[in-house]
Structure 1
Amino acid sequence: MFLIPTQLKPSAIHGTGVFAVDPIPAGTVLWEFTEGVDWRIEADDLAAFPEPYQSRLRAWTYLDVDGRYVLCGDTAKFMNHSDHPNCDEPDGQTVANRDIAAGEELTCDYRTFDVESQERGEAFDPASA
């Protein structure tokens, strides 16, 4: 769950993105997994969803190192990938890796936390799976 105020807006990167409402100092924890808001879904459970729900969930989830899909229950699912992100993901959190201006899109490198992106060496696109 995001720990800072954010807003969704059209993104120059892809569709909709998450944007900072206020300036964010480097080192600020922006997001962390929160039980009751964010979900971990077993692969078999995800596969049991009928279409079009399964495809939509796949577009909004990432595969963690434990083999479960993580669905962010808030707007974090709209964070876009960047090869030069302004956020890092150490220890299951999202942290600003530099000062981020109000109105700036928050970006992350999917390869740092998504097993499917790591295996491909590029950001995972569920539409191509």
Structure 2
Amino acid sequence: MLLIYTTLGSSNIHGIGLFAAQFIPKGTVTWRYHPDFDIAYSTHEIEGMSLPAREQILKYAYYDQDLQKYILCFDDQRFINHSSNDPNILSTPREDIAARDIQEGEELLSDYNCFDNTYFERLGLKTLLN
């Protein structure tokens, strides 16, 4: 569940991005997994979905190794884009924290590999330019 104000916008990284709608000081918890808010799916549940639904879930969900479930963020957190070079958000499967001060209007970026090392393989992306 997002704990800060954000907005969606056009991203220079990829498609739609998540942007800060407020100043976010370094160390601020920006998002936290909440089981009553974010939706958790087992592999079996996803396999039982229609192909379009399955593709949508796998595109926006992350895999939590501890829970052994795919987590689909209910809110706009699912639009946070990846940056392995300069993430301003430090991510774990259960919590995101601002790595530095983030200015209002700045895109929030996370290194997906820090919380889901299966994402790029799952989507068939062998190399990642960003």
- Shift in Å at residue 35 of structure 1? 2.2
1:76 matched to 2:72? The reply is no
Q: Which 5+ residue runs of structure 1 have no aligned equivalent? A: 118-123
1:82 deviates by: 0.3
Task: Assess if the C-alpha contact under 8 Å between 1:21 and 1:102 holds in 2.
Answer: yes
How far apart are the structure 1 equivalents of 2:93 and 2:63? 15
| Cross-structure match for 1:48 | 48
Q: Secondary structure at the match of 1:46?
A: helix
Partner SS for 2:8: strand
- Give the C-alpha shift of residue 91 in structure 1: 6.8
With 19-28 and 64-73 compared, the bigger mean Cα shift is at 64-73
CA contact (8 A) 2:61 2:71 kept: yes
TM-score of the superposition, structure 1-length normalised?
0.89
Give 3-state SS (helix, strand or coil) of 1:18's partner. Answer: strand
Aligned partners of 1:91, 1:42: CA distance in 2, in Å? 16
Give TM-score, length-normalised by structure 2.
Answer: 0.88
Question: Which among 107, 110, 117 is matched to residue 108 of structure 1?
Answer: 110
Which residue in 2 is equivalent to 1:120?
A: none
Unmatched 5+ stretches in structure 2: 126-130
What is the identity percentage for the equivalent residue pairs of Structure 1 and Structure 2? 37
Decide whether the 8 Å contact of 1:64 with 1:115 is kept in 2.
no
Deviations 1:57-107 (A, max 9, x none): 110111111321010000000000001200002472100010000000001
Q: Which amino acid counterpart does residue 70 of structure 1 have in structure 2?
A: I
Give the structure 1 partner of residue 128 of structure 2: none
User: Hey, what's the Cα distance between the residues in 1 that align with 2:28 and 2:87?
Assistant: 15
SS in 2 for 1:54: helix
When structure 1 is superposed on structure 2, of 88-97 and 65-74 the one drifting more is 88-97
Determine which structure has the larger helix proportion and give its number. Answer: 1
When structure 1 is superposed on structure 2, of 67-76 and 89-98 the one drifting more is: 89-98
Contact 2:33 2:93 in 1 (8 A): no
